[in-house]
């Protein structure tokens, strides 16, 4: 039985193993490599995508569970990389190695979609599930605050 889902606005159908994680479908079948494999247990956040607008760990989400849902990857957040969060990331020189950044950006965009004016504590709490091995947390928080200001005004 075919599984239907929409990825970055395009309809897709898959007839393989329905237990395949969305992460591997996006990376290996659709060849979108922005979403990263990190821990494989949903703890690091490198694989974060939006599912019906909410941040989720794609390494834990099966295609069967994602059937009929709208998936947005970092490639679909803004075609030109000009989402306010992406622009704030660049303006604040957030990434060092960059490995976790797609997941960080997707989590931040989801936060700001749900809460356009988060407090510093809310930003810290919301972003705590994303691990940055380079320790860029201060710049991450500054970028989220900058994006919130841009989205507000």
- In this prediction, residue 1 carries a pLDDT of 77
Q: Crossing angle, helix 84-91 and helix 137-152, to 10 degrees?
A: 130
Query: Strand order of the sheet with strand 10-14?
Result: 10-14, 3-7, 70-72, 48-51, 54-57
Max CA separation in the chain (angstroms) = 47
Nearest-angstrom CA–CA distance, 16 and 23: 14
Nearest-angstrom CA–CA distance, 153 and 151: 6
pLDDT (tens digit per residue) in 95-116: 999 999 999 999 999 999 999 9
Rounded to an integer, the average pLDDT of 9-29 is 97
With left for phi above 0 and alpha for psi between -120 and 50, is residue 2 left, alpha or beta?
A: beta
Domains of the chain are 3-77 (3.10.20.30), 84-152 (1.10.150.120)
pLDDT (tens digit per residue) in 39-82: 999 999 999 999 999 999 999 999 999 999 999 999 999 999 99
- In this prediction, residue 40 carries a pLDDT of 95
Tell me the pTM.
Answer: 0.95
Nearest-angstrom CA–CA distance, 136 and 109: 17
pLDDT (tens digit per residue) in 74-92: 999 999 999 999 999 999 9
């Amino acid at each position: 039985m075919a599984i239907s889902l929409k990825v970055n606005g395009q309809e897709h159908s898959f007839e393989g193993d329905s237990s395949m994680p969305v992460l591997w479908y996006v990376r290996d079948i659709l060849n979108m490599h922005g979403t990263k494999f990190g821990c494989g247990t949903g703890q690091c956040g490198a694989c974060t995508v939006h599912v019906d607008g909410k941040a989720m760990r794609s390494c834990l989400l099966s295609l069967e569970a994602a059937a009929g849902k709208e998936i947005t990857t970092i490639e679909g957040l803004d075609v030109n990389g000009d989402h306010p969060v992406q622009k704030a990331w660049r303006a604040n020189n957030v990434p060092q190695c960059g490995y976790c950044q797609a997941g960080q950006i997707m989590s931040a965009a989801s936060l700001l979609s749900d809460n356009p004016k988060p407090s510093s504590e809310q930003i810290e709490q919301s972003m705590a599930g994303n691990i940055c091995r380079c320790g860029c947390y201060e710049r991450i928080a500054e970028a989220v605050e900058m994006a919130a200001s841009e989205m507000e005004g």
